[in-house]
Amino acid sequence: MKNKPPKIKIKLKRSQRLTKMGQIIYLTCSNFQSNNLWESASSCSFGFIFSFVPLALIILTILVGILRVSPGILEYVNAFAAEIESVVDIKPFLNNLINKRNFHVLDVFLGFWIIWMARKLFQSIVQALNKIFNSVIKRRGILNQAIVFISEFILVILIAAIVIVSFLFNQFISSSFFEPLQDFLPKIVSHNAHTVVTLAVYFMIFICTLFAYKFISGIRPPLWLCFIYSLLDTLCFYFISLWVSKVMNLTNYNIVYGTISTIVILMMKVYFFFVFFLFFAQMIYVTQNFELLLKCEVYLLPDSERSGWMIQLRRMLFINPAALKTSTNTKTCEAGDIVFIAGDKADHVFYIRQGQITEQIEGAADVVYKKGSFVGDILCLRDESFRGNGIATTDCKLIIFTAAEFKELMKKSPKAASKALSKLAEI
C-alpha cells in the first residue's frame, strides 16, 4: 500500500492571518457565550470573596510564625491588616497570634480545616474549566477534591512567600550599601514603597493562571500556549484594575454602601479578572481545536438569503476558510469543467470557497450549489454515489474533505451532526 502524501498547510497571506485571528476571536466569544461563562465568572468572584478571609487568616498565621526569626516583618503584616480593616478587622486575631508562644496539633488541624472550608473558589474554577475543555469526564470526584485542596495550599504558601521575599528585598535595598541611591530613587528604595509588592502580586497571578491553564484544565495544553494566554490575562487584569482605581472614587461609594464599599470594589475587580481568565481559557481551547471548530462553523454557515448583521459577519469570516487549505485538499476548476460524474461514489465532500456548481440529474431538475455550499455531504454519510454530473458553472475554488475527515467531524461536533440529520430528514 502506497503511503499517502503528507498534508502540508499552505502558508497564509497577511490578510488571511488576520482573518484567522478574527475567526479565533469569534469562536472564543461564541463558545464563551454558549458556555455561559459570565455566570461562571460571577461564581468564581463570589467564591474568592468567601475564600479571601480564611486564606488571609492562614497567611497571617504563617507570617506571624516567622516573626520570631525576623520581627521587622510585623510592619508588613500590620500594613496588610490596616488595608483590609474596612472589610474585616483582623487585628485581634493578629495580636492573639503574636502573643501565642506555641502551636499545637489542634492549630494545624484548624489551619487545614479553614483551607478546606475555603475551597469554594477553586471548585468554581475547576467546574468552569471543565465546562470549557469538556474534561469533566476525565476526572473523578476525589481527584477534583485533591486538586482543589493542593491548589489552595500552594496559593497560601505562594502569597506568604511573596510577602516574605518583598520584605527581605526592601530590607536589602534599605541597607547602607544602597544609601546613596535613596536620595535619587526614594520611591523605589523606600521601605513603604509598593512597587516590589505590586510586581510580586501580579507575578503570582501570572504563575497561578499558568498553573490553572496547564494542569487544572484537564487536557494539558502546550506550555507555550498557556504562557502566552496567562501573560495576556495578567496584562488585561492589570489595566482594568488601573482603570477601576482611577475612575472609581471609594469615598463616594462609602456614602452608599458604608464599610462594605471596599469589598464591593474588590469584587468588581475580581469579577473582571475571572472574565479575562475564563475568556483566555476558552481561547486556549479554540486555538487547540481550531481546525475542528472551523470545519464545524463552515458546515453550519447560514444561507446567503438570511439577513442580520451577525449572520453577515459569520459569512464574511468563515465563507473562505483559508486555514483549512493544504497541499492536497484544494482544487481549482474553470467554467465548464466536470467536477464529478454520475455514478461516482461520494467518497469526498466538496466545499465551494468560490464559484458555483450545477448538478445535472437525468430526468430531474438541476441542483445549483453556490459559494459556501457543501456538495455530496449526505451522499457521503450514506455511502451512496452522485446522481448526476457536477459541472462548474463559473470558475471555482474548492476544498475537498475525505469521507473519513467528514465523518470524523460528524462524530466530534453535535451541532454539525444535527444539521446533517436535518438534511437527511428532508430527503
Q: Which tens digits make up the pLDDT trace of 140-165?
A: 455 655 665 666 666 656 665 665 56
Q: Quick check: 64 pLDDT over 50?
A: yes
Using CB atoms within 10 Å of the CB of residue 121, give its burial: 0 to 12 exposed, 13 to 18 middle, 19+ buried.
Answer: buried
Who has greater pLDDT, 184 or 9?
9
Coil/strand/helix, residue 378: helix
Who has greater pLDDT, 340 or 191?
340
Among the listed residues 304, 392, 408, the one whose alpha carbon sits nearest the alpha carbon of residue 350: 392
Among the listed residues 41, 79, 32, the one whose alpha carbon sits nearest the alpha carbon of residue 270: 41
Do 317 and 264 contact (CB within 8 A), yes or no? no
Do 35 and 131 contact (CB within 8 A), yes or no? yes
Coil/strand/helix, residue 399: strand
How confident is the model at residue 270, as a pLDDT? 86
Cell of 106: 489542634
Do 214 and 220 contact (CB within 8 A), yes or no? yes
Cell of 3: 503511503
Among the listed residues 113, 196, 118, the one whose alpha carbon sits nearest the alpha carbon of residue 155: 118
Location of C-alpha cell 507575578: 203
- Average pLDDT on 91-120 reads 59
How confident is the model at residue 86, as a pLDDT? 47
Q: Quick check: 284 pLDDT over 90?
A: yes
- Left if phi > 0, otherwise alpha if psi is -120 to 50, otherwise beta: which for 363? left
Do 379 and 422 contact (CB within 8 A), yes or no? no
171 vs 188: CA distance, rounded Å: 12
Among the listed residues 357, 87, 76, the one whose alpha carbon sits nearest the alpha carbon of residue 197: 76
Distance of CA 166 to the CA centre of its chain: 30
- At residue 365 the predicted structure's pLDDT band, cuts being 50, 70 and 90, is confident
User: Residue 234, CB half-sphere, CA atoms under 13 Å: how many?
Assistant: 20
Instruction: Summarize pLDDT for 292-338 with one digit per residue, the tens.
Output: 999 999 999 887 777 778 888 888 999 989 899 888 899 999 999 99
Contacts of 318 (CB under 8 A, 6+ apart): 23, 294, 297, 298, 301
Instruction: Tell me which amino acid residue 188 is.
Output: I
Pairing of strands 374-375, 348-354: antiparallel
Q: Alpha carbon of 126 to those of 52, 56, 67, 116, 141: distances in Å? A: 18, 22, 35, 15, 11
- Average pLDDT on 233-250 reads 82
Q: Quick check: 400 pLDDT over 50?
A: yes
408 vs 181: CA distance, rounded Å: 66
- At residue 66 the predicted structure's pLDDT band, cuts being 50, 70 and 90, is low
Location of C-alpha cell 481549482: 332
Please give the torsion angle defined by the CA atoms of residues 340, 334, 14 and 275, in that order, rounded to the nearest 10 degrees: -40
Among the listed residues 375, 336, 383, 329, the one whose alpha carbon sits nearest the alpha carbon of residue 352: 375
Q: Quick check: 283 pLDDT over 70?
A: yes
The most distant pair of C-alpha atoms in the chain lies apart, rounded to whole Å, by 99
275 vs 270: CA distance, rounded Å: 9
Q: Alpha carbon of 187 to those of 20, 182, 190, 195, 294: distances in Å? A: 45, 8, 5, 8, 51
Helix (H), strand (E) counts: the chain: 17, 8
Cell of 203: 507575578
Location of C-alpha cell 491588616: 81
Cell of 405: 475527515
Instruction: Tell me which amino acid residue 320 is.
Output: N
Do 392 and 336 contact (CB within 8 A), yes or no? yes
Coil/strand/helix, residue 355: coil
How confident is the model at residue 157, as a pLDDT? 63
